[in-house]
Every structure is written in structure tokens, then in C-alpha cells.
Amino acid sequence: MIIAPTTTVILVMGVATALVGLVWMQGAAFLAGPVYFILRFYETASRFFAELPHALLAVSGGSLVVAGAGAAVLLSFAYAFNGFGEVFRKRLGIFAVAVVLLVVAVHFRHNPRGLHVTALDTWGNYTVMRHRGDMLVTGVPHGGEAVLLRYMDMHGTRRANGLVMLELPEPRDVVRLVALAERFDVFYISGEAEGIVASLAAIALDEVAAQVANMPQVVFLHNGDVRITGEKFAHVTTDHTGRISLQIKHGDTIIDIEVYDDAAEIYTSQDLLSVNGG
């Protein structure tokens, strides 16, 4: 709405600048001035709107099946409504079939039969594991929560099963934890932590509980724990600093997730596992 009205000016001035520039460079430079400032206005306006809250768009691996079904719906819509009377009624059936195919494709896209893993490129190194209606997330609440929540919205997940914090939270993470608390049923943290890190984590979680109406259940993980949620199994390793390593098993696939120096690494035992960068 803001930029579109100026596109005509850009087009006209651009053509005029090109034509004048063939014979008079100084005049072309003068005509190019408005074009330059309009383009700078584009840049400034785009940066402003991109930095507004909730302006983030997170994308992950696409689906050719869903994209193809969507294209089929558009084509069948154009085909169906390009007729009258009996012809229109016959073509409308084709459109209805295309819509059904799209709904089925989207359903299976959002409810994968196998274990679907997405590693989000964020400071928190969040990794999302989806299996049918279950969603388990691992990561560190140190940034990127908006990307994670947007990803959950994209897949229609209002509340995920659990968040495994690979490092203990700190009081500085309270704002991020409050946002996460509204979307998870369980917070999994280390039960082997000692000293000041454990005390700071307890303070942070107490502050979160005081600010949210539906505080997730806090479950402490210990060395050797094997069951976390749903059909996902994990062998847990923790240390006194509160760091957690997981070994997720799903059928014949084993996924190792470790964190060190604010970076997470994911290893899989099979190349057939679907791992997408989001």
C-alpha cells in the first residue's frame, strides 16, 4: 500500500533516464535523483516493517506433493469457472476433487507417518521432532524462540508435548521462557546439576511460574532415563553443569543430540531420515 503507488514513477523516470542518458549524461544523472531516493525509501520502509513484532516468516523444507496439489486446485478453479450451465456443473466436480486432494496432501504433510526432524537455524539451536500428533523440541532458550513458535504455528501445533532444555535456564532467559511456557506441556531439564547453576535455574522457573497462567510441568532428567514422551525414546546423559545429551531411537534410526559452547550437533544413523534446515 505504501510502495505500490510509486512504482509508476520509478518506471517512467527510469525510462526517461535511460533515453536522456544516450545523449546527455548530466541530465540523466539529474533525472536519476528521484529514482535513487524512492529506492532508498523502499529499503527504509522494508527494514521498518521487517523489524515489527510478528513480522517473521519461518520456512522449512517444502513439499512437491502439496505444491502440486495447490497448483492443480488453482488450474481446476480457473477451468471450472470458465463455463456456464451444464458445462460448469461438470467442471465443478473436477474442482471439488482437486480440493479434496489438496486437503489430504496438507493433512499428511502436517502429520508425517515417520519421524520428521527439523533443525531450526537459531541461537537456541532448536531441533523439532514430529511424529504424527506428537512434537518434541530440544534446544537452549537463548534466542530464536519467535522462529520456533512460528514453525509450530505453521504446522498447527498449539501446544507441543515437551521442550528438552539442553542447558539449564538462567534468570536472563525469563522473558523467553514465558513465551515458551504458553506452548509446551512439559519442560525437561537436568536433574544432575549442582551449585549456582541449579539455583539460578530454580529462580528462573519460579519467575516464569509467577507470570503464566498455565505453567508447564517441570520434569527433571537423570542419567539413564529412557522414556520422554509419546512414542519417542531417549537415552539421557547429563552432567553437573546442567547440560543434557540425548539419544533418540525411532525404529532402526538413532539420533544423537549434543550441545557445547552454544552450538548443537545432530547425528543420525541413517541417511534416509528426513532432516530439514528451517
Q: What percent of the chain has pLDDT over 90?
A: 22
Predicted confidence (pLDDT) per residue in 77-109, tens digit: 888 777 666 777 777 788 888 888 888 877 777
Strands (DSSP E) found in the chain: 116-119, 127-131, 134-139, 160-165, 184-190, 217-221, 227-229, 232-238, 244-250, 253-260, 263-268, 274-277
Select the more confidently predicted residue: 136 or 226. Answer: 136
Closest CA to 119 of 60, 169, 178: 60
Which pLDDT band holds residue 147 (cuts at 50, 70, 90)? confident
Predicted confidence (pLDDT) per residue in 24-49, tens digit: 999 999 999 988 998 888 888 888 88
Task: Give 1-5 contacts, CB < 8 A, sequence gap 24+.
Answer: 2/45, 3/41, 3/42, 3/45
The C-alpha torsion from 260 through 266 and 267 to 268, rounded to 10°, is 160
What's the pLDDT at 230? 54
Query: Residue 273: pLDDT above 50?
Result: no
Average pLDDT, the chain: 81
How many Å apart are CA 136 and CA 248, to the nearest integer?
Answer: 11
Predicted confidence (pLDDT) per residue in 214-261, tens digit: 899 999 988 888 777 555 567 888 888 888 888 887 777 778 887 655
How many Å apart are CA 26 and CA 234, to the nearest integer?
Answer: 70
Strands (DSSP E) found in 57-170: 116-119, 127-131, 134-139, 160-165
Closest CA to 169 of 196, 148, 189: 189
How many Å apart are CA 56 and CA 158, to the nearest integer?
Answer: 18
C-alpha cell at 157: 501445533
C-alpha cell at 220: 527433571
What's the pLDDT at 30? 92
